Amino acid sequence: MRLEPIADPSLARRLLPPVLAIAGSFLVASLLALIAGGNPLAVFGAIIKGAVGSKFALLETLNRATPLIFTGLAVAVAFRAKLWNIGAEAQLYAGAVVTAVLGTGVLQWPAALLLPTIAILSMLAGALLLLGPALLKTRLGVDEVVTTLLLNFIFLLFVSYLLEGPLKDPMGMGWPKSPRLIEEARLPRIVEGLRLHWGFVLALIAAVALWIINTRTTLGFEMRAVGQNAEAARFAGMPVTGVILKTALLSGGLAALAGFSEVSGLKGSLTLDISPGYGYTGIVVAMLALLHPLGVVAAALFVAAIFVGANAMSRALDVPTYLADIMLASALLMMVLAILLTKFRVVRD
């Protein structure tokens, strides 16, 4: 048995992978739900109801999707240039730290000035955090997967130190959390009374912006070229190293916006648990989206719905909420397999 390339796959064939991957992950989840003693139909019913069954549920899903759009975009832009950034988690926290530091009254500016400043400096922090591994990759050839992964642990310990030391809220009753942000540093709600903040809109804007960058700018062209064939890109005169570094800055910045949005929009202060692995889940989101920025939005909504729904389901039925994580992990694996099958067909020898 071997694989034979398909010259020009049809559109249907190219759009098939996400569908197959999602279907496959549902199948895996059904089996596991059965093992745990749950009826799969009831489980999925509860998940859907929990995710979109009420106004509250829907808003919760949108809120949960917000950081996932950012980390998904961060991973998508990096992976497209074959920069394997697995460190979105740390970059997210970098943005969160900057937000917590600058948003607690150090700068007494009006919101219109303060929020953009914090957002930009957050991005800068995340960008710089990925620049290190990117430089190690381009200069010394050190695999960025391992360095970005290790940086996640290092940075989380750093955040833990901050929260128990310099950033500790004196009124926090001993909890490792930062003081609450001042009102000017909070992303307002889109509609008063509804628990959804402007971070979501910012995420949508980021997705569209990245889409435009990818398709309309020289940087987008260069990032795609470097990802597809760095040798040809270098021969054609593209600044390959520079493109990789720019990609790293963009990717780290996008991931950091997730931290900014969570602290400034949703939580109002920094704790060690603002991200239950959004950085890692961003990989699943990006892969499900076939690395397309607009696809990231759809994938993030889907993934958020699974998480929110699974939480509700787990409360209602005796099936652990980790079912959601399994679904996403298996969706990721099936996705890469399904992508392969759009480009190749299996030929029997």
Binding site for other proteins (CB under 8 A): 1-5, 7-8, 32, 35-36, 84, 86, 136, 140-143, 145-147, 149-151, 153-154, 157-158, 160-161, 164-165, 216-221, 224-225, 228-229, 231-237, 239, 280, 283-284, 287, 318, 320, 322-323, 325-326, 328-330, 332-333, 336-337, 340, 349
111 vs 131 by CB, closer to other proteins: 131
Residue 58 CB: number of other CB atoms within 10 A?
15
Least separation in angstroms between CB 172 and other proteins: 18
Both tokens assigned to 209: 């912006």
Least separation in angstroms between CB 13 and other proteins: 14
In the chain, how long is the greatest CA-to-CA distance? Answer: 72
Contact 306, 324 (CB under 8 A): yes
**Beta partners for 345?**
4
Q: Report the candidate in 188, 163, 194 with the shortest Cα–Cα distance to residue 96.
A: 163
48 vs 150 by CB, closer to other proteins: 150
CA separation for the pair 178, 168 (Å, rounded): 5
CA separation for the pair 45, 168 (Å, rounded): 42
Least separation in angstroms between CB 265 and other proteins: 27
Residues 6+ apart with CB under 8 A from 245: 131, 134, 135, 138
Residue 191 CB: number of other CB atoms within 10 A?
9
Least separation in angstroms between CB 335 and other proteins: 9
Least separation in angstroms between CB 289 and other proteins: 14
Alpha helical stretches, state H, 136-197: 144-164
69 vs 240 by CB, closer to other proteins: 240
Contact 181, 267 (CB under 8 A): no
Contact 302, 25 (CB under 8 A): no
176 vs 199 by CB, closer to other proteins: 176
114 vs 284 by CB, closer to other proteins: 284
Contact 100, 72 (CB under 8 A): no
Least separation in angstroms between CB 318 and other proteins: 7
CA separation for the pair 36, 24 (Å, rounded): 19
113 vs 232 by CB, closer to other proteins: 232
Contact 230, 106 (CB under 8 A): no
172 vs 220 by CB, closer to other proteins: 220
Least separation in angstroms between CB 126 and other proteins: 18
Least separation in angstroms between CB 99 and other proteins: 20
- Buried/exposed 278-302: b ≥16 CB within 10 Å, e otherwise: bbbbbbbbbbbbbbbbebbbbbbbb
3 state DSSP class of 4: strand
123 vs 283 by CB, closer to other proteins: 283
Least separation in angstroms between CB 45 and other proteins: 19
298 vs 334 by CB, closer to other proteins: 334
